[in-house]
Structure 1
Amino acid sequence: MKVIMSVFNFLMAAGPTVMLPVIITVIGLIFGLKITRAFKSGLTLGIGFAGIKLILDFMTTNVGPAAKAMVERTGVQLDALDVGWGSIAAVTWASPIIALLVFAILIVNIILLILKRTNTLDVDIWNYHHMAIVGVMVYFVTKSVLLGVGASVVMAIITFKISDWSQPMVEGFFGIPGVSLPTVSALSSLVIAWPLNWLLDRIPLFRKSTFTIKDAQKYLGFFGDSMIMGLVIGLVIGVLAGFDVTQIFQLGVSMSAVLVLIPKMTSLFMEGLMPISDAAQKWSQAKFKGRRLFIGLDAAVVVGNPDVITTALIIIPLTIAMALVLPGNRVLPFADLAVVPFRVAMVVALTRGNLLKNIVIGLVVTASLLWCGTATAPVLTAIAKSVGIKLGANSLLISSFAATAMIQSYLVFLAFTFKPIIGIPILLLVFAGAWYYFEGIKKINVENMKEAQTN
């Protein structure tokens, strides 16, 4: 056990760029790949992730100060600083019950696979912190280890099931076969997007709208090119931030670079995933009698899609504007502005690139992040202080678009901390209804549609 924990702690300390190649190599070996091919696949994914991380860090460095300057120019006082998902991950992994939570999530995934209640094999252990932070916060509020572990277990079950239900979008829209995305920061948007998309489809303006990013590029001509759109959006943000001419153009070129470089980095994921995906399908057919398993990966594999990036760059300045006028909001968007692509990726896939829907749903998701982030900022701040995280002197509270600011996480946190005897059963009943819909009613509808098309 000591050896296992030492290896686990080493991988966690090394971060996802080291953890991902190791995990993918091991998974490849399990699925029957030769060690050289499995290692090359894992290393390719690690390189792609490192490239994505560098670009996101680059984006944070450039967008962050501009966003902050835009807010400061308005004179509005927002006292909960968005410190970013990285800081929240640090708070999570510093928790005294983190080992219990990680093993509980892993065991739940294995049990669900054995019982055939999920097809997602989640190898994205680094992002377990999205599920674990809910348990950490519940434990901090209730002082109950049982409730803390229970909250993370419920988060895991919900996450794996939403991964299963959304997997056809990953394969159909993004063109990545055999992969699901159990990243809560991406999936949580679907909790709002699914019902809202259904509602928008019943409004003629949205139902008849077929306007996509590709259409925008066609009508805009020169200005519709991805790199030019990035340049224009960067210039606009710079002007609103009050930058001088040099800084405005620097920001414009930086945003242009983001739109060009991220797709190139994410193409490495496809290169590394294909051997693993093929081997996993052959292995599952042999071991599970034709059952198809999905490899659960970080949503970074899809954020390079041009529709995703462009939608995110439109949402970023609107997020800042919303923070200024949204009643009850106390969150100052900052560090997590660079990961807005994760919040809108599955929305874009759901609407199949319908730009009008993307913006409307994206703004509703953003409002939920601000409200939920505001509601849980005091708890998050207290936890950070309790584990020795040094907070900046300029912020009274901390928040993030991660942690329990995400609607899925917030609802679980609320159920386990506010009258759990009532909240937990209500949460489970709602989730059971969603399960019945996606694996019962919707499955029947899809089968009927296929039959009608065949006839």
Structure 2
Amino acid sequence: MLSSVSQFFNAFGATVVVPIMIFIIALFLRVKLKTAAMSALYAGVGLTGFSWIIGEFTPVVTKIIHQMVNNVGIKLPVVDIGWQAGSLASFNSSVGLAFFVFGLIAEFILFAVGVTKVFMPSNLWNNFGFMIWGTLAYYATHNFWLAMGLSFFMLLYTLELAEVQADRWSSYYQIKNTTVCAAQNIVQTVPAILLDPLWNILGFNKVHLTPKTFQQKFGVFGQPTTLGAILGLLIGILGNLNRLASYHAWGQIFQFAVQLAAVMTIFPLVTDVFAKAFKPLANSIDQQRKTAANTQHITDPLNDRKRWFLAVDDGVGYGESATIISGIILIPIMVVIAFILPGNRTLPVVDLIALPFMVESIVAITNGNILKVIANGIVWFSIGLYCSSWLASIYTGAISHYGAAIPAGIILVTSFNLMARPLNAVVFAAFVSQDPLWIGLCILVYLLLLFCLRRYRSQIWHYLKRMADKNTINPSKE
């Protein structure tokens, strides 16, 4: 059965399966048949557009990063080969496939009984983010049920974090009652919340570094297309420092500047198409929420305890200006940090293009404050480099065991996007220790946070709104 499931999803792929799921959900939400069909089609078009752009741009970025690395001359033993190998291994392992089926059923049940207010099946393709950790745990311990338990527990706290940041994400990215819920990207909610008071003490909230202020202060030079070209020039120069006297080098530099400017221009357009897939569903949810809220005389959606959210692919936010600008700026920063960080063994390469995905929750919580996004990214992803270094031998063994190819000449591999996750790594360590004390502690912390979320959700959302408002020039009044 599991083999058949694997063959089915490999045959049709995300660009077909996700639109089918969206079409079914739209019908359940009483969206008109024509609108539901168009939502599904927009989802397929959006996913295809993302895969084409990232597929074409990733080799270009990877080449520049390799040149930057060669210029420095420092060799790191753990090389990031991208998340795709981890996804392939997840769908090839018995634990991964079992959780793909079990996890989908569990997501329906958890939503139906009210454990979570996030409807996750609409984003089922990102379940591989849970599957990969279960695959690693099974490879390390050979304990099937422990590995399944780990994947399920990660699903639980991912849903919890997704609900915590849900109001901020839907407000910032302007798609009502939606949130992202990818295991590899949602954990950035933690540093975004915990570190914000520190950044405010340092005055980062007073530095209004947002796409809007960029355009107001710098005019044409503050637009995403122009910023892309400028960032492309800088990154291209860093990749060609040892041969700037060559016209071939400057050819590559200017080509990369135009290519990055194209990505910064085209990606928001693709994002708009992808967002069209979810807006009719989100509007239907919002209309039903308002109807129910009116009967209870609830005027503020932050106080609506029955409000629920549709999980959407984080590609919806990738092309937003602050998100893609922050992610691109972090590319050379993370390469430099990888070299200077004491004890780090990981070289981030291929997954650097995923940095805009990785910062979405931070962008939403900080209201697009690019300085805070970069600061949070530096702290969190630096810790993440240590995590991926520690996990490298297990990750390499697991993905090679389950059929993913290891590039020739590389001994240890990782995925910066999947493995550089401090919270996930800590939970993984607790479960693979097979110590009931550590596993029980993880479960206890989750239950305490779930209690707080169920009882104080509106207060949490109001706090996050006030926190976000501190980053605006004219804060809104509560």
Give the TM-score normalised by the residue count of structure 2.
0.88
Give 2:393's aligned amino acid. P
Name the CA shift for 1:436/1:196 in 2 (closer, same or farther; >3 Å).
farther
Instruction: Give the conservation status (yes or no) of the 8 Å contact 1:183–1:299.
Output: yes
**1:250 equivalenced with 2:255 (yes/no):** yes
Cα offset, 1:406, TM superposition = 1.6
Report what 1:190 is aligned to: 189
What is the CA deviation profile of residues 216-252 of structure 1, one whole-angstrom value per residue up to 9, with x for unaligned ones? 3322333212111100111111111116010000000
Looking at structure 2, the residues matched to 27 and 79 of structure 1 have their Cα atoms a distance apart, in angstroms, of 45
Deviates more, 1:272-281 or 1:38-47: 272-281
**1:355 equivalenced with 2:370 (yes/no):** yes
Give 1:176's aligned amino acid. I
Q: 2:420 aligns with which of 394, 401, 405?
A: 405
Report what 1:272 is aligned to: 277
Instruction: Give the conservation status (yes or no) of the 8 Å contact 1:191–1:407.
Output: no
Name the CA shift for 1:449/1:208 in 2 (closer, same or farther; >3 Å).
closer
What is the CA deviation profile of residues 253-273 of structure 1, one whole-angstrom value per residue up to 9, with x for unaligned ones? 000001100110011123222
Deviates more, 1:302-311 or 1:110-119: 110-119
**1:148 equivalenced with 2:147 (yes/no):** yes
Cα offset, 1:75, TM superposition = 0.8
Give 2:251's aligned amino acid. T
Report what 1:414 is aligned to: 429
Supply the RMSD in Å over aligned alpha carbons. 2.6
Give 2:28's aligned amino acid. I
Looking at structure 2, the residues matched to 52 and 449 of structure 1 have their Cα atoms a distance apart, in angstroms, of 30
Report what 2:409 is aligned to: 394
Cα offset, 1:85, TM superposition = 0.9
Report what 1:425 is aligned to: 440
Name the CA shift for 1:209/1:287 in 2 (closer, same or farther; >3 Å).
closer
Looking at structure 2, the residues matched to 433 and 199 of structure 1 have their Cα atoms a distance apart, in angstroms, of 25
Give 2:135's aligned amino acid. V
Q: Counterpart of 1:295 in 2: which secondary structure?
A: strand
Deviates more, 1:435-444 or 1:80-89: 435-444
Instruction: Give the conservation status (yes or no) of the 8 Å contact 1:229–1:256.
Output: yes
Q: Counterpart of 2:79 in 1: which secondary structure?
A: strand
Q: 2:329 aligns with which of 314, 338, 346?
A: 314
Q: Counterpart of 2:119 in 1: which secondary structure?
A: strand
Looking at structure 2, the residues matched to 129 and 319 of structure 1 have their Cα atoms a distance apart, in angstroms, of 25
Give 1:60's aligned amino acid. T
Name the CA shift for 1:258/1:373 in 2 (closer, same or farther; >3 Å).
same
Looking at structure 2, the residues matched to 236 and 64 of structure 1 have their Cα atoms a distance apart, in angstroms, of 15
Deviates more, 1:223-232 or 1:418-427: 418-427
Give 2:268's aligned amino acid. P
Cα offset, 1:30, TM superposition = 2.2
**1:30 equivalenced with 2:28 (yes/no):** yes
Report what 1:343 is aligned to: 358
Report what 2:386 is aligned to: 371
Looking at structure 2, the residues matched to 442 and 275 of structure 1 have their Cα atoms a distance apart, in angstroms, of 26
Looking at structure 2, the residues matched to 328 and 185 of structure 1 have their Cα atoms a distance apart, in angstroms, of 23
Instruction: Give the conservation status (yes or no) of the 8 Å contact 2:175–2:282.
Output: no
Report what 2:302 is aligned to: none
Q: Counterpart of 2:115 in 1: which secondary structure?
A: coil
Give 1:53's aligned amino acid. S
Instruction: Give the conservation status (yes or no) of the 8 Å contact 1:15–1:126.
Output: no
Looking at structure 2, the residues matched to 447 and 218 of structure 1 have their Cα atoms a distance apart, in angstroms, of 29
Cα offset, 1:158, TM superposition = 0.8
Q: Counterpart of 1:211 in 2: which secondary structure?
A: coil
Name the CA shift for 1:318/1:254 in 2 (closer, same or farther; >3 Å).
same
Report what 1:297 is aligned to: 312
Give 1:42's aligned amino acid. A
Give 2:133's aligned amino acid. V
Cα offset, 1:177, TM superposition = 0.7
Deviates more, 1:155-164 or 1:385-394: 385-394
Instruction: Give the conservation status (yes or no) of the 8 Å contact 1:12–1:19.
Output: no
Give 1:263's aligned amino acid. P
Name the CA shift for 1:24/1:5 in 2 (closer, same or farther; >3 Å).
farther
What is the CA deviation profile of residues 351-405 of structure 1, one whole-angstrom value per residue up to 9, with x for unaligned ones? 1112221111011122022111111010011112212322112211010123333
Looking at structure 1, the residues matched to 88 and 8 of structure 2 have their Cα atoms a distance apart, in angstroms, of 15
Q: Counterpart of 1:97 in 2: which secondary structure?
A: helix
Cα offset, 1:447, TM superposition = 6.6
Name the CA shift for 1:255/1:357 in 2 (closer, same or farther; >3 Å).
same
Deviates more, 1:436-445 or 1:299-308: 436-445
**1:113 equivalenced with 2:111 (yes/no):** yes
Name the CA shift for 1:117/1:285 in 2 (closer, same or farther; >3 Å).
farther
Report what 1:212 is aligned to: 210
Cα offset, 1:432, TM superposition = 3.2
Report what 2:469 is aligned to: none
Report what 2:226 is aligned to: 228
Q: 2:67 aligns with which of 69, 86, 89?
A: 69
Report what 1:179 is aligned to: 178
Cα offset, 1:198, TM superposition = 3.1
Looking at structure 1, the residues matched to 425 and 66 of structure 2 have their Cα atoms a distance apart, in angstroms, of 26
Instruction: Give the conservation status (yes or no) of the 8 Å contact 2:168–2:464.
Output: no
What residue ranges of structure 1 are gaps of 5+ in the alignment? Answer: none
Cα offset, 1:61, TM superposition = 2.0
Identity of aligned residues (%): 28
Give 1:206's aligned amino acid. F
Name the CA shift for 1:449/1:58 in 2 (closer, same or farther; >3 Å).
closer
Q: Counterpart of 2:165 in 1: which secondary structure?
A: helix
Instruction: Give the conservation status (yes or no) of the 8 Å contact 2:97–2:131.
Output: no
What residue ranges of structure 2 are gaps of 5+ in the alignment? Answer: 244-248, 297-305, 466-475
Looking at structure 2, the residues matched to 101 and 186 of structure 1 have their Cα atoms a distance apart, in angstroms, of 19
Name the CA shift for 1:448/1:60 in 2 (closer, same or farther; >3 Å).
closer
Looking at structure 2, the residues matched to 52 and 454 of structure 1 have their Cα atoms a distance apart, in angstroms, of 38
Instruction: Give the conservation status (yes or no) of the 8 Å contact 2:164–2:457.
Output: no
Name the CA shift for 1:254/1:428 in 2 (closer, same or farther; >3 Å).
same
Looking at structure 1, the residues matched to 432 and 380 of structure 2 have their Cα atoms a distance apart, in angstroms, of 23
